[in-house]
Amino acid sequence: MQDIWHLPDPETQPEFYADVPAKRLVAFVVDTLVILGLSLLVVPFTAFTGLFFFPLLMAVVGFAYRVVTIARASATWGMQLVAIEFRARDGGRFDLGLAFAHTLGLAISFGLPVLQVVSIVLMLTQPRGQGLSDLVLGSVAVNRRAAM
């Protein structure tokens, strides 16, 4: 993609992309545990009927969690823990619209597992470590504090 020149170049600034796919995996696990905990906290407020549709409840809570945290800090709590963040095509942080679009892309890829596999392969093989949603949106995940 030639139009993402505002983002760090993986050849001249590799420190921005060092270990990002592995960090994204760790962040995903942390975020999943946070979403599980938040979902369990919500269950009593559904008069425990949330237990009958717990996977759906987790999906809704997870979607909201990801949109809100990414819109506020350009990273989920798990991403903040491993010091990575999303950057938009112009190099800026994610806003609410981009956070929603990225989370929607993730939700779609969870719904169609072949897309999730494609996304993982892309993250592991692309110079910028971009997944499918990242490629569509022109965004990247980078190390938050890279050595210069």
Residues 8-49: tens digit of each pLDDT: 889 999 999 999 999 999 999 999 999 999 999 999 999 999
| Number of residues written out for the chain | 148
Q: Each residue of 76-108: pLDDT tens digit?
A: 999 999 999 999 999 999 999 999 999 999 999
Residue 1's pLDDT band, with cuts at 50, 70 and 90, is: very low
Q: Which two tokens stand for residue 140?
A: 């990247």
Residue 148 has pLDDT above 90, yes or no: no
Q: How far is CA 130 from CA 1, 38, 86, 88, in A?
A: 11, 28, 10, 12
Q: Each residue of 40-70: pLDDT tens digit?
A: 999 999 999 999 999 999 999 999 999 999 9
Q: Which two tokens stand for residue 50?
A: 């949330």
